[in-house]
Amino acid sequence: MILITGGAGYIGRHLVQACIDTGQSCAVVDDLSNGSHDSLPQDIPFFRACISDGTALRGILRSLQVKTVVHLAARTSVSESIEMPMKYYDTNVNGTRVVATACLVEGVSRLIYASTAAVYGVPATREVTEDSPTTPVSPYGRSKLAAEWILSGIAQAEQLRTISLRFFNVAGGQVLNETRTGHRAAPHLLAAVSRVAFGDQPYLEIFGDDYDTHDGTCIRDFIHVRDLCSAILLASKGGADNESRLNIGAGHGISVREIVSAAENQIGARLPCLIRPRRPGDVASIVANAQRLRTLGWRPQHSSLPDLIGLVRDLVGERDDNYSGQKFVQTNIRRPRVPFPWHNTPDSAASDP
């Protein structure tokens, strides 16, 4: 039995599905601060609790005889962490300490921790390996790194095996009708691109086009959530027990502009875009060296640019079939105030269209 903390969130609900698909039993604990119980199958044991409540956690671990915990619950936004750092240190550092303590007391064998590429900060090399320096530039990245340190310290001293999986930019499988289902609109790039494609958002804000990259926009390593889940399941079955930290990325960098252009090509229409100032906490470029994960037999199956962008196209198609009949192109015609994506002037970018 695997207990998934934060299992009602974006990655969590995909991981629950991956468990079901592979015959792995699982249960979820989540305080629903950013998740939805409705997105989980009814027969999955669900406990509404905060990870900082050690007594509740211990009771759940004991009653289900849990041997593996996948710890996803966290505050997850780089930009929000700059505005509210304590929220991040409370949940991500103290919450992880409480989860680890409960695991130790209840005899859990393996704790798999959802860490992040944000622990590396501004990389000194094009690709980062697990041994690259960790100099996070946001409270989010620092909080996730501090939690890694707690877990590696425990692993050296106690019976609990811990591994930090450093997820790069997870994409795909977003909730379509976020407002109807009560999901908070995800801030992630691919989610925002999908919203603009559906007409749920009038235009895409591109945060900075003056970075030192080939086209001026940020570069990220996007990994499809299904590929991510297969890596988590590999670790949950002991396939990464000799590692203490692992990069989980596809291993290729894609810029914001390349994502937008590929989405436009797929959909056959322009995405309205506005260039905004750089977003605090963003780094210009970060790409995984995922060689260690590959040597364990993992390969990304769904994380190529066409696959990632195909999602936007497929979702638009799904939306056309199931919802109010709005078509992407019609949506564009109804919102003509930002006619051409890349050519907005500094003046036009200063105010909303």
Ligand X SMILES: O=c1ccn([C@@H]2O[C@H](COP(=O)(O)OP(=O)(O)O[C@H]3O[C@H](CO)[C@@H](O)[C@H](O)[C@H]3O)[C@@H](O)[C@H]2O)c(=O)[nH]1
Ligand Y SMILES: NC(=O)c1ccc[n+]([C@@H]2O[C@H](COP(=O)([O-])OP(=O)(O)OC[C@H]3O[C@@H](n4cnc5c(N)ncnc54)[C@H](O)[C@@H]3O)[C@@H](O)[C@H]2O)c1
Give the active site residues.
140
Q: Is 169 in the site for ligand Y (CB under 6 A)?
A: yes
Q: Kindly state the smallest distance separating residue 94's Cβ from ligand X, in Å.
A: 18
Region class of 335: left (phi > 0), else alpha (psi between -120 and 50), else beta? beta
Q: Kindly state the smallest distance separating residue 139's Cβ from ligand X, in Å.
A: 12
What is the spatial distance between Cα 324 and Cα 30, in angstroms, rounded to a whole number?
32
Q: Kindly state the smallest distance separating residue 274's Cβ from ligand X, in Å.
A: 10
Which option in ligand Y, ligand X, none does residue 256 bind, with CB closer than 5 to 8 A by kind?
ligand X
The Cα-based distances of 244 to 35, 125, 128 in angstroms read 28, 22, 16
Query: CB–CB of 163/232 below 8 Å?
Result: no
Footprint on this chain of ligand X (rule: CB under 6 A): 76-78, 116-118, 168-169, 187-189, 192, 204-207, 218, 220, 256, 279, 282
Q: Kindly state the smallest distance separating residue 165's Cβ from ligand Y, in Å.
A: 8
Complex with ligand Y: residue 114 or 150, whichever CB lies closer: 114
Q: Is 316 in the site for ligand Y (CB under 6 A)?
A: no
Integer-rounded Cα Rg, in Å, for the chain is 20
Complex with ligand X: residue 109 or 201, whichever CB lies closer: 201
Complex with ligand Y: residue 50 or 263, whichever CB lies closer: 50
Complex with ligand Y: residue 61 or 338, whichever CB lies closer: 61
The two tokens of residue 77 are 């936004």
Query: CB–CB of 30/6 below 8 Å?
Result: yes
* Main-chain phi, psi angles of 28, to 5 degrees: -130, 135
Query: CB–CB of 255/206 below 8 Å?
Result: no
User: DSSP letters along 20-86, please?
Assistant: HHTT--EEEEE--SS--GGGS-TTS-EEE--TT-HHHHHHHHHHHT--EEEE--S---HHHHHH-HH
Q: Kindly state the smallest distance separating residue 105's Cβ from ligand X, in Å.
A: 29
Which of the residues 44 through 63 are near ligand Y (CB under 6 A)? 50-52
AA letter at 227: D
Coil/strand/helix, residue 13 = helix
Which option in ligand X, ligand Y, none does residue 30 bind, with CB closer than 5 to 8 A by kind?
ligand Y
* Main-chain phi, psi angles of 104, to 5 degrees: -60, -50
Angle in degrees, CA 4, 185, 316, rounded to 5: 100
Candidates 2, 19, 35, 196; binder of ligand Y (CB under 6 A) is 35
Q: Kindly state the smallest distance separating residue 144's Cβ from ligand Y, in Å.
A: 6
What is the spatial distance between Cα 300 and Cα 192, in angstroms, rounded to a whole number?
23
Which option in ligand X, ligand Y, none does residue 232 bind, with CB closer than 5 to 8 A by kind?
none
Which of the residues 112 through 151 are near ligand Y (CB under 6 A)? 114, 116
Complex with ligand Y: residue 31 or 227, whichever CB lies closer: 31
Stretch that binds ligand Y, among 5-13, 61-69, 79-87, 238-246 (CB under 6 A): 5-13
What is the spatial distance between Cα 19 and Cα 34, in angstroms, rounded to a whole number?
21
Which option in ligand Y, ligand X, none does residue 226 bind, with CB closer than 5 to 8 A by kind?
none
Candidates 12, 173, 199, 300; binder of ligand Y (CB under 6 A) is 12
Contacts with ligand Y by CB under 6 A lie at 6, 8-12, 30-35, 50-52, 72-74, 76, 91, 95, 114, 116, 167, 169-170
